[in-house]
Structure 1
Amino acid sequence: MNLQETLKHYFGYDSLRSGQQELIDGILAGRDVLGIMPTGAGKSLCYQLPALLMGAAGRGVTIVISPLISLMVDQVKALNQAGVHAAYINSTLTEGQIRKALEYAGQGRYTLMYVTPERLGTAQFLDFAGKASLAMVTVDEAHCISQWGQDFRPSYLEIADFIDKLPVRPVVSAFTATATDIVRRDIVQNLRLESPVTIVTGFDRPNLFFKVVNRKGGRETDNSVLNYVKRHEGESGIIYCATKKNVEKVHELLVAHGISAGRYHAGLSMEERKRSQEDFTYDRLSVMVATNAFGMGIDKSNVRYVLHYNMPQSLEYYYQEAGRAGRDGEEAECVLFFSKQDIMINKRLLEHKVSSANAGIDDDELRANDQRKLNQMIRYCETDQCLRQYILRYFGDESPCTCDKCSNCVVTEEETEQSYITDKRAVKKMAVMADLTDEGMELFELLRAGRLELARKQNVPPFIICSDKTLKDMCIKLPRNSEDMKNVYGMGVQKTESYGETFAEIIDEFCLAHTEYVESMKAEALDSDNPGDLGTQGVESEKQRRKEKTVRKKEFYIDPNMLDDVEIVDECIVSELANRINELNQKQGITGMKKLTAAFINGLLQQNGYIEELDMDDGSKTKRVTSKGAEIGIREEERKAKFGRRYYAITHSRESQKVIITLLKEYFFTGYGEGIVE
């Protein structure tokens, strides 16, 4: 396979992003490379893709040096899910497992081998590296090699010596997201890169909204953080604190208010930290409260916000930590709560910072540099200029900055959900963000639930199955078979084979119950420049595909008498009731039939006047409870989705659940539930 075919086959992408092509071409031409690219810009692909091509050409295995065990574990899992043979060597493995992994790598079974820098100097690894055919040595998080950076790691200084000991020097590639000019020079010098192809794609993260909020600290900041998390309930977020004491305090506050939050700091045992990180990664916790010890090992793509309870010590720290939001490219927020107390906290932390114990740089010089960084961080919190431009200029990015996504450029309301509706430009921006209708969001949640189930079966984090961006693309393209699933962003051949059918079934069932939504998506596809978005067979073949599908599968039906066995609970949403009814048929071994859907039940409720569908100001539709519905215990609660969209969450009491059962009995006693769907 050539580069384009490999990109599509394994990763499901149709094209490369800015800067990726130049770096990949440099590697394939045998050149050293240095890539400075913002988080989420696709750094990993720049070495994973050429590693596949070089491996296929018999040039050997690629060694990837990564600073944290959790980071390499997630990356190897993601590669394996994509059909790429990769492994890692670290302290979590037994000696027997390490020996076997190195044996397999030497036999060419792996395309990529991930290792920590400390592993390189061991006799066992040096023996392997001296005998194996190595195509490339990749240094991830390369800023760790510089004592001027925020994450200096002395073991990184030994990488160049390791490379020099190899019988044949492979291509050397280095990548990082945050590096000032002095750090870049250190990377090139300390890794001994030879005339590297250097690409700096810029530091801008267009999908991130930056905000600084001035608070007095203490209870006032606590209240603001709690309000924010409550407004973003169900979304994944990180809250960074400067001290372990503050982590404990904020964590206790959130848990006391019913929020599923974890904590992470150096004062906890290794087992506690590992458990917290896994719970967050696997979506068992929605919020993580942490010090900066919760660092580079975070590869979770669907973090929707990062809050800073305290000001960090430098813009490098801040941008790296804030950059853990929105790695999937979707909209996310970075909010820094600033108080004057933060200045004193950070000054004390710098005073107690451990001596560098290095060769070549004076401690006083490093302390002075740290103080300069802190002063620049303070100016960021106090400036009235564009926050995005301030960050970019700090990292030497002089590209034009037109910002409508920071709190200094856009008027935002205090202590309420961000609406951004302040002028025509802001109105247009909100419309772009909220590009899924209520029906689209319903499908997104169904797909997300399906992804979570797949992730549990595979024992991997949900984002490794696929990203939120991939699910969103499914909601727009509506792939209803494995062939069309190949056109979805991020669905390579292996993922399509493994999970395509599951997602396609969810989408097909949804489409049969939401014909208006399907038609609207068809219309949008026809109006766009790419009518093929609905699938490889095009819009016309959709009707034929539906016709063939209905011949195979019967509409839902249940013996009305079985409905007496449905469990009635104190409160539930309609989809939960539908699931309990579907389980009755499953227990009877009934197959070849579509499932009862929430949409079908809502249709019955609407026909009988218990709920109604109303047009919203933004052109979308929403369901509301009528006075008749309220009388039987149907409840509604107005909520705000991301970026200001309003909707109504409807729940059912015991009384209204019994009414639904009665309506279903009446429907199925007529016999209308049997037969073939058109």
Structure 2
Amino acid sequence: MPNQEPALESALKHFFGHDQFRFEQRSIVEQVLKNKDVLVIMPTGGGKSLCYQLPALLRPGTTIVISPLIALMQDQVVALKDNGIEATFLNSTLSFEEVRSRQKDLLMGKIKILYIAPERLFTSSFHDFLKQLSQKVGISTFAIDEAHCVSEWGHDFRPEYRQLFQIKQLYPQIPIIALTATATQRVRTDIVQQLRLNDPTVYISSFNRQNLYYEVIQKSRKPYQQLLAKIQQHQGKEKGAGIIYCLSRKHVDEVSNNLTKDGISALPYHAGLTNTQRENNQTKFIRDDVQIIVATVAFGMGINKPDVRFVIHYDLPRNLESYYQESGRAGRDSEAASCTILFGWGDVHTVRYLIGQKADPGEQRIAQQQLNQIISYAESPICRRQVQLNYFGEQFIPPCNNCDNCLSPVPIEDWTIEAQKFLSCVYRCDQRFGMNHIVDVLRGSNKKRIFELGHDRLTTYSIGKERTADEWRMLCRAMIYQGYLEETTDGYPILRLTRKSNQILKKFVSVKIPVTQKIAQPIASKEKVTSTELNEESVSLMRQLKTLRKELADQQNVPPYVVFSDSSLRQMAQLRPQTADDFSKISGVGSRKLIQYGKIFTQAIRKFCSDHNLEVSTESFSKEPTVVDKGSSKSDISSTHLKTLDLYQNGLSPSDISLTRNIRLSTVNGHIAELISAGYPIDINKLVDRERQTVIKQAIAKVGPHSLRNIREETGETYDYQEIKLVRAKWELEMPSE
């Protein structure tokens, strides 16, 4: 990139309205701009999309994004366009004419970001089109979203993703950025190998979603009443959106019908509905026409709704990784959100039955191991985060202070002697058996297999009769989470000692664990609020701003969060900005949104303050750099115009911009003229000498602004069309409306 490249923070604020990068975003963007391959493991809501979207706007050519999710690519395109960024998608929902039209725009260089499904990428027709695009416009980057789909060890393997290795064969010089929210070490290795990434930089953000509160509640005999009470608790002052997950279609229909009867707007989503029904219900949820969606696990992949305030699993999740994904659909805007499991052993029996229906014994074995892991999570008295993050190989030192076990901890006891017995038994069984077998040996079981193996003759046989099997299993899980034991994850859950095990056996450390008899009582919910609580006035203002946001979104036929996120509205409700300068400081307000929504939101805030005897600014929005809807309209300003503006605002002259962007000087001046017409703050005096401006303005006053040729004939041939365009744009902007 040229040395004159604008500061990345400036570009971030300009295009997306954020003042600073999150996690490793800045470093990732820098690597992509240097043409390096990158693998990004970043949790849901961490800002993965920005890691390829921002570089796409700062480099020549088009970025190709491969995504398996039609709904997600459509949402992403809508959000980008609302930020003034030219993006499009090509998928099966489009007609032949629509595809041709979009391909034409791409070949003309009008589109910066193209979303496609993996199935389309290697069709012969698209392969030919991609060649044309590469030659005429250039391809800046390939971004592979949901990259875990490439691995058979991932939670959502897609065979068509296996073909993506061809990208490196066909376009070896173009960098690839692969992104996913969850990937174990095995999956990460598989992604790099399958995609043929060239010495990639791997970024692994913490899997810790700090804004999410986790809890497990024992399911009662009246689970619907529990669910209803939980929903009513969440929908207090600020009614929030929620997702309820169920194991079966029957439960989905029952729960959604009952909620509707109880006055809560809810809709079902499962595979038994028609495609049209599912799409309509999903759209209503995304656009805030209903507050709750009740769904099987078929719902959620590709849903880009950031303001989901709670996720409740009415039935047991399939496995720990699925639970992390499904619960992670809450709080993607980084605001406080809650994740609840209603845990009942009846659900366990149902899942075991479903596992038994699998034809492949290997699949059954792995599914059973995954079920054991989620049961361990539900029963564990240990910090919920510690259990989840341990699964992904990330160490976490509790307390997290945002889960039920940390906020309502059970008693801690010293179990060092029991831990020594357990580890000794694992060692004497040659580290070749799982937890249940070790427990059987310790408790002196008379099972035939123990005698066949000769384990009844071990010194550890029957030395643990004083503890129940559940207590020994509780100790085993605690030692796994604390790193004193490890359990294999290849379908055969074998226990093995670790380097830390010896510390217990030699009495260098003591083992203290939370002890609970059983998960018999509902755990009291003490959710930690991670976002600033709003006072009564701010809550009232936020309600009004949400209503305004919904009206604007409906007018544009887009989801409300595309206009502004809840976190942006929360800032507005707290800070009450009433001028353009103050409004531009709100997170999520970039150059485009300042022009598009600034005046209407500040007017609403000003009126609220006036109605409630709050401070009203003496300085109006119009006293700031004014936006006048003359000449070029707001919708005419594209990402390429905004990139020119960004370079100009960072001190580059039109000729410098021309060299930096490798486009004609006349094109740059055309951009600037349209930016002036649209009301962007451009100092014309730095572009055209004042005396020459005067001559051009006099010519315009005499012959009118409509014909550049007539104006030039009046000024004389020493004046060129480019400076005339700039002065005319400024002249039209300053003319009073009729």
Shift of 1:231: 2.9
In structure 1, the residue matched to 2:176 is: 172
Could you say which structure has the larger radius of gyration? 2
Letter in 1 for 2:113: L
Q: Which moved more, 1:275-284 or 1:478-487?
A: 478-487
- 1:263: how far off? 0.7
For the pair 1:80 / 2:178, whether they are aligned, the reply is no
Partner of 1:395: 392
Instruction: Give the structure 2 partner of residue 240 of structure 1.
Output: 245
Q: Does 2:387 correspond to 1:385?
A: no
- Number of the residue aligned with 1:119: 120
Select which of 301, 308, 311 maps to 1:303.
308
Picking from 5, 16, 19, the partner of 1:14 is 19
Q: What is the rounded CA distance, in whole Å, between the counterparts of 1:454 and 1:462 in structure 2?
A: 8
> CA offset at residue 100 of structure 1?
1.7
1:492–1:433 CA distance, 2 compared to 1 (3 A): closer
Q: Distance in 1 between matches of 2:182 and 2:42?
A: 8
Task: Kindly report which structure 2 residues correspond to 1:4-403, keeping only aligned pairs within 5 A, or say none.
Answer: 4-54=9-59, 58=60, 60-132=61-133, 133-166=138-171, 169-216=173-220, 219-233=221-235, 234-353=239-358, 364-403=361-400
Change (3 A) 1:296 1:22: same
Structure 2 residue 500 is the aligned partner of structure 1 residue 498 = no
After superposing the two structures, state which structure 1 stretch, 392-401 or 285-294, moved more.
392-401
CA distance in structure 1 between the partners assigned to 2:524 and 2:569 by the alignment = 25
Q: Deviations over 1:401-427 (max 9, x none)?
A: 431111111139x9899555xxxxxxx
- Answer yes or no: is 1:447 the counterpart of 2:548: no
Cα-to-partner distance string for 1:258-309 (whole Å, 9 max, x where unaligned): 2111111111110010001001001011000001110212110111000001
* Structure 1 residue 323: Cα displacement: 0.4
- Rounded Cα–Cα distance in structure 2 between residues aligned with 1:138 and 1:515: 51
- Tell me, what secondary structure is at the counterpart of 1:409? helix
Output one character per residue of 1:533-568: Cα deviation in whole Å (capped at 9) or x when no partner. xxxxxxxxx45559999xxxxxxxxxxxxxxxxxxx
Give the deviation of 1:193 after TM superposition: 1.0
Cα shift readout 1:28-74 (whole Å, capped 9, x = no counterpart): 111100111111111111111111111xxx2x111101111111100
Contact 1:12 1:493 (8 Å CA) reproduced: yes
Q: Deviations over 1:76-132 (max 9, x none)?
A: 000000011000011110011112212221222111000111111212211111222
8 Å CA contact 1:141, 1:176 repeated in 2: yes
Contiguous gaps of at least 5 residues in structure 2:
1-5, 410-520, 625-738
TM-aligned CA deviation for residue 232 of structure 1: 2.9
- CA contact 2:385–2:396 (8 Å) conserved in 1: no
1:435 corresponds to which of 518, 527, 533:
533
SS at match of 1:274: helix
AA aligned opposite 1:21: R
Secondary structure of 2:49's counterpart equals helix
**Counterparts in 2 of 1:642-657, with a 5 A limit?**
none
Query: In structure 2, what residue type is equivalent to 1:241?
Result: C
**TM-score computed with the length of structure 2 as normaliser:** 0.65
Distance 1:401 1:409, change over 3 A: closer
Cα deviation, residue 12, structure 1: 0.4
Contact 1:306 1:334 in 2 (8 A): yes
Residue aligned with 2:405, SS? coil
Shift of 1:352: 3.6
State the match for 1:409 in structure 2.
406
Aligned residues: 502
Q: Following TM superposition, by how much is the alpha carbon of 1:443 offset from its aligned partner in structure 2, in angstroms?
A: 0.8
* C-alpha contact (below 8 Å) 1:231/1:417 kept by paired residues: no
The Cα of 1:23 is off from its aligned counterpart by 1.1
Percent identity over the alignment?
41
- Alpha-carbon distance in structure 1 between the residues aligned to 2:106 and 2:57: 14
Question: Alignment RMSD, CA only?
Answer: 2.3
The CA deviation at 1:515 is 4.1
Give the Cα–Cα distance (whole angstroms) in 1 for the partners of residues 551 and 149 of structure 2.
37
Shift of 1:144: 1.1
The DSSP-based 3-state class of the residue aligned with 1:300 is coil
Secondary structure of 1:114's counterpart equals: strand
Kept in 2: contact 1:86–1:111 (CA 8 A): yes
**Distance of aligned partners of 1:195 and 1:278 in 2 relative to their CA distance in 1, 3 Å threshold:** same
> 1:476 — aligned with what?
574
Tell me the distance in 2 between the aligned counterparts of 1:19 and 1:364: 42
Task: Indicate the larger mover: 42-51 or 118-127.
Answer: 118-127
Deviation of 1:5 after TM superposition, in Å, equals 2.0
1:619-639 deviations in whole A, cap 9, x for unaligned?
xxxxxxxxxxxxxxxxxxxxx
Residue 194 of structure 1 and its aligned partner are, at CA, apart by: 1.1
SS in 2 for 1:131: helix
State the TM-score, normalizing by the size of structure 1. Answer: 0.71
Q: Which runs of no fewer than 5 residues in structure 1 stay unpaired?
A: 356-362, 421-428, 520-541, 550-678
